[in-house]
């Protein structure tokens, strides 16, 4: 049986998981791949660090030991970041090596360049682990659902923020408290900016949108807003109104125009995504032939992510043993426009602190009416003497109109503070029914 030599770039959480799963399931992996898969060299920053791997595997801090080794046919990149990962992957592809990567940061910004390099060298570039950790979603979109025109891909694609929002809801705690807890437990990274600001999810939805709509969507095309502004009060009001707050990644196409965004959203409690909790991810896909399909599982973590990496590895090994190449070509053959956020229509939840006297609500309502913002429901709660809190849900309105109305409302003397503005998303059928 042929032995396929593999170079691993990175041996942290995911890299160690890849080694462990390859070892544990060696027999069935070898049989499925039709070849013995052998990691011969591993690139790390610090070769003296203590690691939980066999001492027989060669560690190196020189990338060229792997990239220039003619015996290595597949490179797995699990280092992360743009530089130097981009340079190493490009070099591997140009040297005729197929690549498996989990690197969404790189793909969401430089995907085009990487795919062109893979195509020129007639090798494969696979990236199932880059979105949704262990959840199969890239393969299903590229292969199993290829016969569909995909209208919508949306979901919970960041585990850290889902964990935080779930805890805030269940324990009635504030964002900063739960974030500190999540860091202590190792769920959130020491620098959690990319997760909580929605940037990690923005990269993932850019990758999914590109595949779903056959048109390149990059990280910079995605409007993103994070969860740091969500308070326990917003979660409480959401609950009273029949909603759950989730950080959603959403991509949709209508008449050849794409909208793609990441932000916290009220979703009705009967929406399947409302019940995806803790670090779990779920991705919902709507296609013209398949209808609705949903993918659920662990969106991060050592073994789930390794599972996706090894699935890609086996696919490439199968191709190498059969002499097939360049199977995972880029499918961005169209050039669709991306709608700016100001043009997007959605419903909104607004929470305002106002002075509690006659005419205040009427004033606010008239500002909204002038900007063509129609109000669906209002709840008013007295906070203390002369101060009240107003919670409004609007009907669907263009973002630009809502922002215009808000800037006038903020200037009203009776409005003490606009505490929060959160988008409200409808049900799966896109009918606009909103669970109120
Ligand atoms: P990690 O634990 O930080 O490991 C990174 C590894 O890469 C380390 O072994 C490090 O070496 C090595 N490395 C980093 N920069 C290097 C450089 N310039 N030269 C040589 N070696 C370098 O990262 P991870 O969590 O495994 O994530 C890896 C990739 O998978 C990232 O793209 C990430 O976004 C993606 N991903 C991760 C998860 C997850 O759950 N962790 C899920 C999905 C996707 P040292 O060990 O010597 O420091
Ligand atoms: N930090 C990501 C998350 C995992 O919390 O979902 C890596 O993609």
Query: How many residues are listed for the chain in this entry?
Result: 436
- C-alpha–C-alpha distance, residues 184 and 116, integer Å: 42
Average pLDDT, the chain: 94
Decide the pairing of beta strands 243-254 and 150-156.
antiparallel
pLDDT value, residue 433: 39
Ligand 2 atom nearest to 157, measured from its CA: 6
Rounded to the nearest angstrom, the distance between the alpha carbon of 167 and the centre of ligand 1 is: 27
According to DSSP, residue 159 is labeled: H
Cα three-residue angle 409-410-414, rounded to 5 degrees: 75
pLDDT given at position 214? 97
Ligand 2 contact via 253 beta carbon (within 6 Å): no
For residue range 2-20, list pLDDT tens digits in order: 999 999 999 999 999 999 9
pTM for this model (two decimals) = 0.95
DSSP 304-372: HHHHHHHHHHHHHHHHHHHT----S-----B--EE--GGG-EEEEEEEEEEE-STTHHHHHHHHHHHTT
Ligand 1 contact via 84 beta carbon (within 6 Å): yes
pLDDT of residue 184: 84
Q: Is the torsion defined by CA of 389, 390, 393, 398 positive or negative? A: negative
Token couple for 223:
């409007």
- Tell me the pairing of strands 415-424 and 257-268: parallel
74/118 Cα distance (integer angstroms): 12
Integer Cα distance of 261 and 250 in angstroms: 5
Ligand 1 geometric centre to CA of 43 (Å)? 11
Among 45, 135, 163, 279, name the best residue to mutate to test ligand 1's pocket (greatest count of ligand atoms within 8 A of Cβ): 45
Gap from CA of 161 to ligand 2 centroid (Å):
9
Cis upstream peptide for 84 (omega within 30°): yes
Which residues in the chain land under pLDDT 50?
428-436
Contact 153, 212 (CB under 8 A): yes
Ligand 1 contact, 79 CB (< 6 A): yes
pLDDT digits (tens, 9 = 90+) for 68-120: 999 999 999 999 999 999 999 999 999 999 999 999 999 999 999 999 999 99
Ligand 1, atom nearest to 10 Cα: 7
* Bridge partner list, 293: 285
Residue with tokens 């999914």: 208
pLDDT of amino acid 33:
97
Predicted pLDDT of residue 77: 98
Q: Is 305 in the pocket of ligand 2 (CB under 6 A)?
A: no
Helix axes 360-370, 399-411, angle to 10 degrees: 150
**How far, in Å, is the centroid of ligand 1 from the Cα of 10?**
5
Q: Relative to the alpha carbon of 78, which ligand is closest?
A: 1
* Positions of E strands within 78-205: 98-101, 125-126, 150-156
As to burial, measured by CB atoms within 10 angstroms (0-12 exposed, 13-18 middle, 19+ buried), residue 260 is buried
Give the catalytic positions in this structure: 204
Ligand 2 neighbourhood includes 428 CB (under 6 angstroms)? no
């Amino acid at each position: 049986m042929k032995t396929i030599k593999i170079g691993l770039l990175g041996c942290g959480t995911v890299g160690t998981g890849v080694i462990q799963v390859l070892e544990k399931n060696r027999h069935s992996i070898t049989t499925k791949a039709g070849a013995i898969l052998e990691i011969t060299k591993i690139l790390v920053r610090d070769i003296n660090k203590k690691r939980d791997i066999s001492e027989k595997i060669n560690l190196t801090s020189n990338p060229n030991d792997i990239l220039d080794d003619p015996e290595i046919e597949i490179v797995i990149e699990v280092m992360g970041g743009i530089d130097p990962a981009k340079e190493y992957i490009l070099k591997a592809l140009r040297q005729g090596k197929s690549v498996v990567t989990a690197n969404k940061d790189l793909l969401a910004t430089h995907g085009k360049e990487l795919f062109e390099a893979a195509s020129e060298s007639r090798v494969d570039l696979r990236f199932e682990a880059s979105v949704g950790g262990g959840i199969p979603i890239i393969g299903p979109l590229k292969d199993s659902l290829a016969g569909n025109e995909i209208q919508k891909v949306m979901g919970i694609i960041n585990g850290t923020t889902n964990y935080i929002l779930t805890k805030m809801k269940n324990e009635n705690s504030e964002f900063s408290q739960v974030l500190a807890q999540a860091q202590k437990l190792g769920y959130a990274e020491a620098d959690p900016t990319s997760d909580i600001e929605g940037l990690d999810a923005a990269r993932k939805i850019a990758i999914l949108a590109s595949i779903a709509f056959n048109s390149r969507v990059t990280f910079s095309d995605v409007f993103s807003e994070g969860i740091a502004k969500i308070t326990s009060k917003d979660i409480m009001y959401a609950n009273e109104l029949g909603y759950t707050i989730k950080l959603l990644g959403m991509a949709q196409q209508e008449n050849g125009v794409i909208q793609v965004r990441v932000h916290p959203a009220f979703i009705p409690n009967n929406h399947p995504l409302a019940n995806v909790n803790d670090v779990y991810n779920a991705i919902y896909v709507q296609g013209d032939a398949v209808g609705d399909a949903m993918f659920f599982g662990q969106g991060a973590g050592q073994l789930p992510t390794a599972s996706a990496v090894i699935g890609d590895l086996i696919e490439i090994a199968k191709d190498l043993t059969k002499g097939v190449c360049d199977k995972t070509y880029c499918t961005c053959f169209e050039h669709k426009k991306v709608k700016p956020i100001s043009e997007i229509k959605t419903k909104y939840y607004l929470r305002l602190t106002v002075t509690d006297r006659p005419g205040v609500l009427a004033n606010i309502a008239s500002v909204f009416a002038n900007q063509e913002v129609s109000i669906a429901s209002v709840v008013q709660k007295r906070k203390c003497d002369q101060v009240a809190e107003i919670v409004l849900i609007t009907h669907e309105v263009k973002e630009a109109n809502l922002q215009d109305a808000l800037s006038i409302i903020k200037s009203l003397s009776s409005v003490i503070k606009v505490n929060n503005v959160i988008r409200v998303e409808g049900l799966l059928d896109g009918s606009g029914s909103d669970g109120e």
